[in-house]
A = this chain, B = another copy of it.
């Protein structure tokens, strides 16, 4: 276990200390050190977007707390849900008087805790709506797409809902575009190596020296195909073949693409992968409006990558193009 850490049990709290020390103008803790909000929270008159989940996925979740993105986050242990109480604390600190959107990935631990937080918030007369991200096509069949787990497509949801909230739209509008972004997003990933949760000290799963797993979840949940490691081009083809017919993305559609690295895979490889994805999208008659390549949702030091596509219309393009700024993601 080659990690730059101290006590594995203190990993998350020390990471948070480091983040707050590095970005004091942009982020602050609340009474609960695991509940972090924008430094200027609460922004009065603005719908507050709250998110959260387990640690180990930076920039997900905390990294998307910022202007044009989310307002607050509750931070769990590595790959584990934060508590309802922490989410409530983040909610109280971020609520700007006009309601909250809980926007996060579809994991039952998070759902149960955030639903409890929402019920507690309701007792304080705070209106909370929830939108779950469920973009991973590998995790459930098409007709059950809302049962799928949330992966890198979270980024699109934050970007879209965050831009809408920043424009001072009301909660219903923010919910509407968040749902729209989620419904129009499809993702799938491939893993080449597992990662090690510091407190556990053992790999999350095992994979042969020349194997890869297509459809792997961001905590190492099993995927749809395990086989020999293939070329970047072949991986790109597999990912596109799974994603494109699923929505479906159709000839003439405009899309935003995201090639995401899981942690250990170099940016160079992500671009080699995107090269083939781009060729395929063009061949399929899809217009690529914008492309993001980098680490947007990781699994510690897992090697691998994922592809996400968002089908956009004029409204989504406007929201995707809006500026955003957090210590982890800046767009002008």
Task: Give the interface of A toward B (CB within 8 A).
Answer: 2-6, 11, 14-19, 21-23, 55-56, 58-59, 63, 190, 192-193, 209-210, 212, 229, 231-233, 235, 257, 259, 263-275, 278, 291, 293-295, 298, 300-301, 303-305, 323, 325, 327-328, 330-332
Contact = CB atoms under 8 A, between A and B. Distances in A.
Nearest to A55: B268
21 contacts: A2-B193, A2-B209, A2-B210, A2-B212, A4-B190, A4-B270, A4-B304, A5-B232, A6-B272, A15-B268, A21-B274, A21-B275, A22-B271, A22-B291, A56-B266, A58-B267, A58-B268, A63-B267, A264-B301, A264-B303, A266-B300
Contact of A272 (B5, B59, B235, B330): B5
A19 B271 contact: yes
Classify the interface of chain A: helix, strand, loop or mixed: mixed
Nearest to A274: B18
Nearest to A233: B6
A321 B266 CA distance: 28
A270 B295 CA distance: 14
B303 A269 contact: no
Contacts of A11: 268, 272
A192 B271 contact: no
